[in-house]
């Protein structure tokens, strides 16, 4: 495994890594602090200097992602990984090696209160569960070996394919091994199940109602489970439906994310519901969740980082 290319964004880097002649991606980014007026400035700028001014210190937060598969078996209509060929799971060693590569190439980051690592760059981690969970558990060992003082926050991001049946294993790892300090994020994207299936390229995934039922019956501490909605023009996101399904504010948070301008989204004629020019629409949607007492966050990225941040886009170029 070796790095073949490194692409720079204002807030971090994307590593293109060759594993047995297949290019996978891993990333390291700093968070961008955004408040009030600065938020608009940061979101809409094309000037990296503006981003640099608002970067969060590594010692506060550092954001990493690693790939879990060579490509992905799914064909989500919004994700450029779907355009790459699928060449199987990465081993636990190969997942851990990406973490080592990032750390070795960032020797100046010695300590951090929160290193959030998404096992979600390329691949659906539910299909590689044991290797992903094994790698998560070894994170403290890896950082100790490399002389870093990190508090890890692993993130398991999944569309929850029905047959992969991973909810209990992920929650058990969260509660038992990470004392609740693991972020479980579930892709939802629409409250209309037919539309969801279409967006996931026909994948047989657990319905949101089934997800809510299962999670409501499990003990969840510290980090709540996040239901991610990439907001797409003309695609239903109904707060009322979610309430009716039993969405419990002590177990769940909703995250609203503008649709990135991916190549495949363009091909499928998907447009974001809101982003840079009409950001207030996103805030209105946020308010409708807040009014129902549902914890909600908005996760928008800066315009000038959008291209490189889309999973699988660079790998396509360098394959």
**Interface with ligand SF4 by CB under 6 A: which range of 40-48, 68-76, 88-96, 229-237?**
68-76
CB of 264 to ligand SF4, least distance (A): 9
Distance CA 268, CA 114 (A): 37
Nearer to ligand SF4, 12 or 71 (CB): 71
How many other CB atoms are found less than 10 A from the CB of residue 82?
A: 22
Instruction: Specify which residues 63 forms β-bridges with.
Output: 29, 116
Q: Which two tokens stand for residue 215?
A: 């999670």
Question: Per CB under 6 A, does 155 bind ligand SF4?
Answer: no
Taking the alpha carbons of 301, 272, 289, 178 in that order, is the dihedral positive or negative?
negative
Picking from 33, 26, 32, the residue whose alpha carbon sits closest to that of residue 64 is 26
**Interface with ligand SF4 by CB under 6 A: which range of 72-80, 174-182, 229-237, 284-292?**
72-80
Q: Which two tokens stand for residue 284?
A: 């209105």
Picking from 127, 107, 109, 111, the residue whose alpha carbon sits closest to that of residue 119 is 127
Among residues 14, 32, 81, 160, the one that binds ligand SF4 under rule CB under 6 A: 81
CB of 142 to ligand SF4, least distance (A): 23
Distance CA 215, CA 217 (A): 5
Q: Which two tokens stand for residue 181?
A: 């300090």
Question: Per CB under 6 A, does 102 bind ligand SF4?
Answer: no
Among residues 30, 70, 74, 116, the one that binds ligand SF4 under rule CB under 6 A: 74
**Interface with ligand SF4 by CB under 6 A: which range of 4-12, 26-34, 75-83, 143-151?**
75-83
Alpha-carbon torsion, ordered 305, 306, 311, 317, to 10 deg: -90
Question: Per CB under 6 A, does 124 bind ligand SF4?
Answer: yes
Question: Per CB under 6 A, does 220 bind ligand SF4?
Answer: no
Question: Per CB under 6 A, does 79 bind ligand SF4?
Answer: yes
Residues that bind ligand SF4 (CB under 6 A): 72, 74, 76, 79, 81-82, 123-124, 159
């Amino acid at each position: 495994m070796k790095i073949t290319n490194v692409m720079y964004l204002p807030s971090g880097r994307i590593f293109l890594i060759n594993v047995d002649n297949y290019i996978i991606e891993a990333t390291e980014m700093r968070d961008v602090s955004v408040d009030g007026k600065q938020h608009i400035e940061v979101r809409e700028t094309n000037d990296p200097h503006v981003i640099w001014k608002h970067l969060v210190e590594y010692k506060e937060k550092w954001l990493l992602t690693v790939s879990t598969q060579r490509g992905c078996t799914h064909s989500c209509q919004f994700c450029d990984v779907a355009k790459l060929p699928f060449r199987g799971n990465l081993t636990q060693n190969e997942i851990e090696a990406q973490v080592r590569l990032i750390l070795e190439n960032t020797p100046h980051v010695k300590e951090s209160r929160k290193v959030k690592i998404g096992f979600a760059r390329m691949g659906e981690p539910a299909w590689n569960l044991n290797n992903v969970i094994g790698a998560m558990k070894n994170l403290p060992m890896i950082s100790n070996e490399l002389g870093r003082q990190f508090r890890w926050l692993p993130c398991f991001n999944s569309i929850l394919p029905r047959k992969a049946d991973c909810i209990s294993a992920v929650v058990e790892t969260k509660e038992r091994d990470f004392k609740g300090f693991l972020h479980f994020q579930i892709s939802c994207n629409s409250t209309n199940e037919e539309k969801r299936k279409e967006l996931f390229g026909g994948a047989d995934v657990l319905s949101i109602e089934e997800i809510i039922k299962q999670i409501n019956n499990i003990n969840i501490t510290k980090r709540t489970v996040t239901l991610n909605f990439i907001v797409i023009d003309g695609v239903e996101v109904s707060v009322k439906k979610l309430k009716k399904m039993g969405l419990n504010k002590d177990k769940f948070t909703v995250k609203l994310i503008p649709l990135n301008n991916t190549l495949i989204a363009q091909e499928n004629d998907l447009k974001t519901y809101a982003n840079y020019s009409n950001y207030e629409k996103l805030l209105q949607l946020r308010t409708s969740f807040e009014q129902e007492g549902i914890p909600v966050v908005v996760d928008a990225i800066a315009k000038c980082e959008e291209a490189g941040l889309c999973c699988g886009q660079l790998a396509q170029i360098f394959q």
